[in-house]
A and B are shown apart, each in its own frame.
Chain A
């Protein structure tokens, strides 16, 4: 593990905030995660459902896909763990790479640890650290302290999210597709017991559940991984480690101290375990839809039907006539007469109801009065508020390239700018040159966030009074020019160009 290459901001976070970091990591690596995810899970999904259809238990696909989640979890974790420290791997690389990870914990998660609310936290510990069993349990007890509740809440939260997405798809279909278009079998599907549901709908359910799982399961793994990173940051002060390394780099680069490089890097130990390929069952998908339900045999009394037909033909019952009328589409269901509970205080209840009714009428009256008053007040005014033409002010914005290196002959460059009537740019260049020289003189860390006031303060602390005076003068000149638009005359500029900060070699 090379901590310098980490691509997330490390700082101790509250566990809940760490969860959000997981979502951010997933968002940043979405393409890599989901390409690997679908490349592996889609064939498995097809296989599982085909198996269910062949065996005659269409719900089996749904169950199997849920059961195999710990197996799928390895993929997002592989992508994210690589992406955080290096770069996101492609899907082929992911499929190949995660096979090298230990399999023991995955088998455990698939069998006796299947219903374990801490799976998201266990995954990085077992797959990334790969410690032997005894050390692992000790490490687990340290790692889970203080965040085990958050890991459980994460599991239940993700379960809810999956349910929400699953239901959303069905409900949106129900709301947006006209009801005439929905086949009758869908209505049966909702009414009848799941076991008796037709295979097509069961497979569709399985597919929607798979989509919901695909959306949420990587999030679950990413959030667990973020919790793990945060806990290790807490335990091992990774953020301080990084800051110290940067400081050390600066000090060594400054050449102040010659120190021996110390090797103190841990490493993700990745023991190579024998690869075990998942046992895919070789089944040929076969689809045979049998018509299970038959039309019920007409058991009505034949003679009665004939007699009834004859009776209706009798002219005394009137012939047939056509009548057209509009019928309300949704006939309200006949409501049972409401069992009215006798209120305890009939008088009081009536009074409250009366007061509310009066209040409503009063509200209406007030609203109408307010409306009338509004119309009365604004009756004469016109809408036309002419836009006053605004003369745009001359923009003072000037492009200054901060990162560009200073010219070698600073004085000449400034003089050229000054004579070309680019006074502001000339003074900006002068100020920058002065700042750079002062930084070199004081051996300060190079940072861009020092203000003019900071430089005046730094100048006050300089040992050489003459130089301090010159820095203060240049800063002041620049301030007057930048903030007040007051520029010095040519002689003053010439005097600033002579001597120390611009002519770096000169004494003062």
Chain B
């Protein structure tokens, strides 16, 4: 089964799902960051240009900081998110899902030079398109990856009805499917709801509207409502 998820199992038996971010969202985030940095530099140049040689020196320092330190500082102190990444809901994490620390962040941002190689990020783009977790060279060397953080807004609250326990014991993923159905049924057309509920005839023993309401009652029971 194809997916963009990198699964990591902790020693406690909990599986973490890291949803790797691909080339397109990352390019958009980079573009936002570049525009932001350019804007900051231009604004800062207005007062600095009045200071002659000393101002030029300060401007060079600022440029150096924006080019080399901006990403590292943002990634370490802002939960692995530069401003552009935060806007697009991306985050840099270590390959095992832990928050990114100084050394990996510095390494991946130093290697940006290689990824940017012919001057237009050609190497980075090619590498991101080929790698299964969409990592660029800097990420591979530093052992980091960029993941999506935005969760889709869950469906509406499950409508409260009298709870009915399901007649058989359900596995965890089956329970999750029932609750998901109850949450998202508001987004589906009536016909589709009934079509889905009819699939579970063996469970509910009913059809159409009665089956839908029965499934929602089961979901209420699974959610622990009285």
Contact = CB atoms under 8 A, between A and B. Distances in A.
A25 B129 CA distance: 12
A16 interface: yes
A168 B125 CA distance: 10
B27 A244 contact: no
A442 B168 CA distance: 10
Contacts of A154: 24
B118 A175 contact: yes
A167 B116 CA distance: 12
Given A251-B168, A445-B169, A171 B2 contact: no
A308 interface: no
A259 B54 CA distance: 85
Interface in A447-475: 447, 449, 451
For the residues of B in contact with A, the DSSP-based class is helix
B34 to A, nearest CB: 12
B160 interface: no
A367 to B, nearest CB: 18
A39 interface: no
A402 interface: no
B118 A172 contact: yes
B211 to A, nearest CB: 11
Contacts of A223: 24
A24 B3 contact: yes
B177 A259 contact: no
A349 B55 CA distance: 7
A153 B27 CA distance: 11
For the residues of A in contact with B, the DSSP-based class is helix
A349 B54 contact: yes
Interface residues of B, number: 66
B89 interface: yes
Given A240-B180, A244-B199, A451-B13, A8 B55 contact: no
Contact of B54 (A17, A241, A254, A353): A353
B203 A237 contact: no
Contacts of A442: 169
Interface string A160-180: 110111011101100100000
14 contacts: A12-B152, A12-B184, A14-B148, A19-B24, A165-B122, A171-B118, A235-B188, A246-B174, A247-B203, A349-B54, A352-B51, A443-B169, A445-B169, A447-B172
Interface of A: 7-9, 12-14, 16-17, 19-21, 23-25, 27-28, 153-154, 157-158, 160-161, 163-165, 167-169, 171-172, 175, 215, 219, 223, 234-237, 239-241, 243-248, 250-252, 254, 256-257, 259-260, 262, 264, 341, 343-346, 348-356, 442-445, 447, 449, 451
Given A27-B132, A153-B24, A447-B172, 18 more contacts: A8-B1, A12-B184, A14-B148, A16-B150, A21-B2, A168-B117, A171-B120, A172-B122, A237-B180, A244-B177, A247-B177, A254-B168, A259-B202, A341-B52, A349-B53, A352-B57, A352-B58, A353-B53
Interface of B: 1-5, 13, 19-25, 27-28, 49-55, 57-58, 88-89, 117-123, 125-126, 129-130, 132, 134, 148, 150, 152, 168-174, 176-177, 180-181, 184, 187-188, 192, 195-196, 198-203, 205
